[in-house]
Amino acid sequence: MPEKLPRSFYQREDVVQIARDLLGKQLVTEIGGVRTSAKIVETEAYKGSTDRACHAFNYRKTKRTAVMFEPGGVAYVYLCYGIHHLFNIITNIEGEPDAVLIRAAEPLEGIEEMLARREMTELKARLTAGPGSLSKALGIRKEQTGVDLTDDQIWLEDYGETISSELIIASPRVGIDYAGEDAKLPWRFRVKENKWVSPAK
DNA sequence: ATGTCGATTTGCT
DNA sequence: GCAAATCGACATA
């Protein structure tokens, strides 16, 4: 039987380690009465205290980032470029605004529903490759910000699959040139030679 | 296959 | 005002 990841998984201190650990876990949503799930194959870590690329850098708190200061184990969904809903998992203890962005996953359950949400007819990697696409396929919208990940709307399951470290590729995050030196940190993780990751750079 | 561009909320200058 | 943790449409080659 799969195990729902407990709050303690998210409340650990090292957000980079959590980003690695999330590879191979299943992201499950039950929104609108339909269960959909996908196996995570690509993530990125953001650390509020020291990382210029993070929205809550230097503990900057706004209406949008307030949820990042909550104890680990809740969802942070924000709108990027005015259109895309990007799904993040808040980690660490209350007051430490760290997050992991889920960038890509392999579709497993509810594929018909995911295709319908994306207005697609054929199963292609595009369905869930890239943070905006993935959220749309799983039915996640910014209204889900603050949802408790140990509750029954959005959660993660562990099927005991571990991705060995040789299969994890670390690389710099994209689209964050404004972050200066921090843009070079290798905090993006993906599963090697996996067809479901977003286009490699 | 590669490039440019528009969509359109949020927060900083 | 403008640029952003993006994507897909459309153009050209």
The model's pLDDT over A153-200, given as tens digits with 9 standing for 90+, comes to: 999 999 999 999 999 999 999 888 889 999 999 999 999 999 999 976
Q: Is the CB of A105 under 7 A from strand C?
A: no
- pLDDT (tens digit, 9 = 90+) per residue, A23-75? 999 999 999 999 999 999 999 999 999 999 999 999 999 999 999 999 999 99
31-60 of chain A touching strand B, CB 7 A cut-off:
60
**Does strand C come within 7 Å of the CB of A48?**
no
Beta bridge partners of A43: A102, A189
SS3 A37: strand
Q: For residue range A77-110, what is the model confidence (pLDDT) as tens digits?
A: 999 999 999 999 999 999 999 999 999 999 999 9
Distance A89 CA to C7 C1' (A): 22
Q: What nucleotide is nearest A183 when CA is compared to C1'?
A: C5
Q: Which nucleotides of C are covered by protein (CB under 7 A)?
A: 3-8
What is the model's pTM? 0.96
Q: For residues A49 and A141, what is the distance between their CA atoms, to the nearest angstrom?
A: 26
